[in-house]
């Protein structure tokens, strides 16, 4: 159900959806992971790690698992030796792309102000 601007002004924090959205994609790493996969397609763990060199392996693994659980990315595990795992953004995850693009643009424009 879409609400007009006037109706949205009167929503509580939980009603407006921001609280829920942040519970799913909030934090330092999830938006970066989603943006990277949205822009670059299927990637392996090492490629994601290379894109975000400051994230720890433990944190990256945790964030990837949460994104898979929430249905924003898909994990394909090839049953082989050496192990091969690929990640890609889901259709649900792709719906966040305009928001992520705007966040990227905003950050670039305001980074050095």
What is the pTM (predicted TM-score) of this model?
0.87
Nearest to 101 by CA among 8, 19, 24, 35: 35
Domains of the chain: 28-110 (1.10.10.10)
Tell me how long the chain is: 113
In whole angstroms, what is the distance from residue 105 CA to residue 92 CA? 22
Give the pLDDT confidence score for residue 113 in this predicted structure. Answer: 72
Nearest to 76 by CA among 67, 86, 66: 86
Tokens 């693009």: give the residue.
Answer: 101
Sign of CA dihedral 94, 100, 105, 108: negative
Express each pLDDT in 2-28 by its tens digit: 666 777 788 777 777 888 888 899 889
Express each pLDDT in 32-90 by its tens digit: 999 999 999 999 999 999 999 999 999 999 999 999 999 999 999 998 888 899 999 99
Which H or E run contains 102?
helix 97-110
């Amino acid at each position: 159900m879409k609400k007009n601007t006037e109706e949205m002004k009167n929503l509580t924090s939980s009603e407006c959806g921001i609280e829920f959205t942040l519970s799913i994609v909030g934090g330092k790493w999830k938006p970066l992971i989603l943006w990277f996969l949205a822009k670059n397609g299927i990637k392996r763990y090492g490629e994601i790690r290379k894109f975000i060199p400051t994230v720890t392996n433990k944190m990256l693994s945790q964030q990837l698992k949460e994104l898979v659980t929430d249905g924003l990315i898909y994990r394909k595990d090839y049953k082989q030796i050496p192990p091969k795992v690929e990640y890609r953004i889901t259709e649900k995850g792709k719906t966040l792309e305009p928001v992520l693009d705007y966040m990227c643009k905003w950050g670039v424009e305001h980074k050095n102000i």
